């Protein structure tokens, strides 16, 4: 997902983690962040207030992260 600040959020399938890149492509300090789930997180949706929502591929979990993870 792409945040309102131009950051890019991606999941690391099988690692139960989310990465956040700043607009220049550098990993934001403090990332990757662990997320709940089955280890196969598939997608990230970013809201206008900068929160990230991550879904588990088996449909059993949704994790909410703020802009800082």
Residues 6+ positions from 48 with CB-CB distance below 8 Å: 4
More confident residue, 13 or 23: 23
**Rounded to whole angstroms, how far apart are CA atoms 11 and 51?**
15
Q: What is the pLDDT of residues 21-56, one digit of tens each?
A: 999 999 999 888 888 766 677 788 999 988 889 887
pLDDT category at 66 given cuts 50, 70, 90 is: confident
Sheet holding 52-56, edge to edge: 41-46, 52-56, 62-65
Say yes or no to pLDDT of 59 above 70: no
| Two structure tokens written together for 14 | 């099988």
**Terminus-to-terminus CA distance in the chain, angstroms?**
14
């Amino acid at each position: 997902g792409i945040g309102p600040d131009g950051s890019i959020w991606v999941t690391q399938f099988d690692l139960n983690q989310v990465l956040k890149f700043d607009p220049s492509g550098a990993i934001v300090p403090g990332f990757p962040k662990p997320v709940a789930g089955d280890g196969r997180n598939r997608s990230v949706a970013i809201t206008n207030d900068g929160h990230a929502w991550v879904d588990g591929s088996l449909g059993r979990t949704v994790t909410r992260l703020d802009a800082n993870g």
